[in-house]
């Protein structure tokens, strides 16, 4: 296909690798303790890795120290996008209005200095799982059900390899 009318010569989607996963996950202390279990469930899936997360409102006593949202964003390795769509679709289907799942197309960039970035013309697909706030007891059980669902999904993937 001739993509010249778009101003690009090839697929503009950034392709991530296992090396990228290792680099992103090299500092596990950056993960909020309150959402670590969900992040670990995502990262246990060989072709996914978290790139951003916040426990938000999960722990009432700590909510003022965090952003107002509870979410995990992740990237996909080796263009395994159908698996990410299947996970997000299954979560949205099962958890209805308790969760928001989406894919964001964000500009990729190079960091050229401590305070300077330059767009490189590529696009990263950021997959996002955002939880909506529920009453405390329901939030705890729903959060655990989401973690368990993602773990089961990961196990199913590993069995098909």
Is residue 7 in some structural domain?
Answer: no
For 17-61, the DSSP string reads -HHHHHHHTS-GGGS-GGGHHHHHHHHTSTTEEEEEEE-TTSSGG
Q: pTM for this one?
A: 0.88
Is residue 31 in some structural domain?
Answer: yes
Which residue range forms the structural domain that includes residue 151? 12-160
Is residue 1 in some structural domain?
Answer: no
Q: How many domains does the chain have?
A: 1
pLDDT (tens digit, 9 = 90+) per residue, 85-108? 999 999 999 998 899 999 999 999
Is residue 6 in some structural domain?
Answer: no
Q: What 3-state DSSP class applies to 21? A: helix
Is residue 64 in some structural domain?
Answer: yes
pLDDT (tens digit, 9 = 90+) per residue, 53-94? 988 877 877 878 887 888 999 999 999 999 999 999 999 999
Is residue 2 in some structural domain?
Answer: no
Task: Check residues 161 and 119 and name the one with the higher pLDDT.
Answer: 119
Is residue 79 in some structural domain?
Answer: yes
Please name every residue paired with 53 in a beta bridge, in sequence order, or none if there are none: 72
Tokens of 94: 């099962």
Is residue 4 in some structural domain?
Answer: no
């Amino acid at each position: 296909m001739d993509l010249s009318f778009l101003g690009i010569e090839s697929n503009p989607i950034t392709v991530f690798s296992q090396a990228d996963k290792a680099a992103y996950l090299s500092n596990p202390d950056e993960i909020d303790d309150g959402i670590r279990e969900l992040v670990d469930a995502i990262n246990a899936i060989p072709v996914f890795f978290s790139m951003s997360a916040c426990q938000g409102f999960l722990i009432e006593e700590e909510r003022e120290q965090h952003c107002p949202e509870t979410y995990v964003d992740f990237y996909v390795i080796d263009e395994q996008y159908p698996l990410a769509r299947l996970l997000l679709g299954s979560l949205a289907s099962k958890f209805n209005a308790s969760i928001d799942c989406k894919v964001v197309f964000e500009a990729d960039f190079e960091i050229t200095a401590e305070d300077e970035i330059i767009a490189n013309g590529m696009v990263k697909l950021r997959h996002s799982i955002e939880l909506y706030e529920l009453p405390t007891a329901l939030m705890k059980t729903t959060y655990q059900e989401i973690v368990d669902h993602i773990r089961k999904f990961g196990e199913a993937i590993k069995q098909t390899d």
